[in-house]
Amino acid sequence: MSVRHFTWRRSVTATFATAVLALSFAGCASTTTPGDDGDSSGEASRPITIGWSAAAPFVLPALLAADGAEPFADRGLEFDGSLIAAPDALPLLATGKLDVFAGPVSAGIFNAIGSGSDLAIVAPGGTSSLPSDWYISKAALGDKDPEDISNWKGQKIYTSTGAGSYVMISLAHLLEPAGLTPTDLEFAQISPDDVAPALTSGAIFAGIPASIKARQQLLADGDVIAGPSAVWPEGISPGFIFFGKSLLEDDPELAQEVLDAFVDLYKNHLQGDYQSGPMQEEIAKVLDYDPATVPDLVKEVYPADLSFPKGWTQNAEKVWRSLPDVLSYEDSVADKIVATDLIKQSLKNVE
């Protein structure tokens, strides 16, 4: 077993991100096959770069991978982990500078795949059993009726990636009965850490803080109202696990090995009351929670079969297609978003 390797970095530097954004999609990175005979005990040839959009429960598998959890350490997989804003992750994945990312899907992912980039979703994130609601700022709402969706017209809303955010899909569903569409709103792109203060001050009308603790604090302070559900269709996760070209194109055997480890984690470590089981201390460590609070704060459910709601990619594409200047490709890529064959093979590989 290799020594666990984990480097916390607060963010990708502006210089690095700018340089990567300037790269063409022809950039590449190569690795050595993790095991000549395909044995899952083979040593990885290099640390695997992994990023996450927020240190929140819905990206728990990525945090556990970076911390060297058993399914990864037993396969000799080492990770170099960092916090990366979702918009910055796309060019990093597409150019081979980032192997794995856990965070929200966006129209940018669809556009990248539509332009020929080799990246894909390989697993859903956790679906929380806690309500996932829009949080409405009392300061911005004033004396208006919080249940009247028509009051959202012209308001500034936070989503992680603006009009191309997947939250737009649930938002379109929410606005439809009031005769509104997402084009009737204004979108603010701010740091996830700034969402709670912006809701408190009224700088944004509505948003979804990534941290459950932040949501609870906002409600306790009386700064927000828990509004309508932000989950649609039922069973969709707010985050996903993505592989980039450095795995899918440059080293497909390592891609299979890494996904096998994630499947092992999902199937054998994140089922049932895992929050109060052997994983409790490690979960508390990677989320920076008091271990005693983990069963109350971590309510994510992880599908052992890595399944997704039926038709969700087609529906997302349809909504984004209805918005101006969101999708840049012509033919549908809905059947290319998820690496179905890779997932099926890992489900066969892992008991």
Residue 343 falls inside a structural domain: yes
Pair (101, 157) in one structural domain: no
Lowest mean pLDDT among 19-33, 37-51, 180-194, 224-238: 19-33
Q: Which of 98, 70, 117 has the alpha carbon at shortest distance from 9?
A: 98
Pair (108, 173) in one structural domain: no
| Confidence (pLDDT) at 45 | 66
Which stretch, 68-72, 132-136, 172-176, has highest mean pLDDT?
68-72
| Confidence class for position 10, pLDDT limits 50, 70, 90 | very low
> Which structural domain range is residue 291 located in?
14-128+237-349
Pair (309, 331) in one structural domain: yes
First-residue to last-residue Cα distance in the chain: 20
Pair (92, 71) in one structural domain: yes
Pair (254, 110) in one structural domain: yes
| Confidence (pLDDT) at 34 | 37
Q: Decide if 242 contacts 122 (C-beta within 8 A).
A: yes
Name residue 255's amino acid. Answer: A
Determine the angle formed by the axes of helices 312-321 and 107-114, rounding to 10 degrees. Answer: 90
| Confidence (pLDDT) at 18 | 34
Q: Which of 37, 19, 38 has the alpha carbon at shortest distance from 27?
A: 19
Pair (37, 138) in one structural domain: no
Mean pLDDT of 149-164: 88
| Confidence class for position 143, pLDDT limits 50, 70, 90 | very high
Residue 4 falls inside a structural domain: no
Q: What is the pLDDT of residues 15-39, one digit of tens each?
A: 333 333 333 333 333 333 333 444 4
Residue 5 falls inside a structural domain: no
| Confidence (pLDDT) at 138 | 98
Measure Cα distances from 340 to 58, 120, 264, 305, 311 in Å: 21, 9, 17, 11, 14
Pair (246, 338) in one structural domain: yes
Give dist(CA 292, CA 31) in Å, integer. 41
| Confidence (pLDDT) at 87 | 86
Residue 3 falls inside a structural domain: no
Residue 211 falls inside a structural domain: yes
Is residue 79's pLDDT more than 90? Answer: yes
| Confidence (pLDDT) at 305 | 96
Q: What is the pLDDT of residues 39-78, one digit of tens each?
A: 444 455 689 999 999 898 989 999 999 999 999 999 999 9
Give dist(CA 152, CA 179) in Å, integer. 11
Pair (119, 219) in one structural domain: no
Percentage of the residues of the chain whose pLDDT score is greater than 90: 66
Total domains in the chain come to: 2
Mean pLDDT of 193-217: 92
Is residue 332's pLDDT more than 60? Answer: yes
Cis peptide before 209 (omega within 30 of 0): no
* Single residue among 205, 229, 253 that ends a domain in this structure: 229
Q: What is the pLDDT of residues 257-291, one digit of tens each?
A: 999 999 999 999 999 999 999 999 999 999 999 99
Residue 186 falls inside a structural domain: yes
Pair (225, 241) in one structural domain: no
Pair (69, 86) in one structural domain: yes
Is residue 4's pLDDT more than 70? Answer: no
Q: What is the pTM of this model?
A: 0.74
> Bridge-partner residues for 240, per DSSP?
103, 124
Higher pLDDT, 26 or 331: 331
Residue 8 falls inside a structural domain: no
Residue 6 falls inside a structural domain: no
| CATH number, domain with residue 161 | 3.40.190.10
Pair (255, 309) in one structural domain: yes
* Single residue among 185, 201, 229 that ends a domain in this structure: 229
* Mean pLDDT value across the chain: 86
* Single residue among 208, 229, 250 that ends a domain in this structure: 229
Is residue 348's pLDDT more than 70? Answer: yes
Give dist(CA 81, CA 27) in Å, integer. 21
The contacts of residue 123 (CB under 8 Å, 6+ apart) are 61, 240, 241, 259, 262, 263, 266, 306, 343
Pair (22, 124) in one structural domain: yes
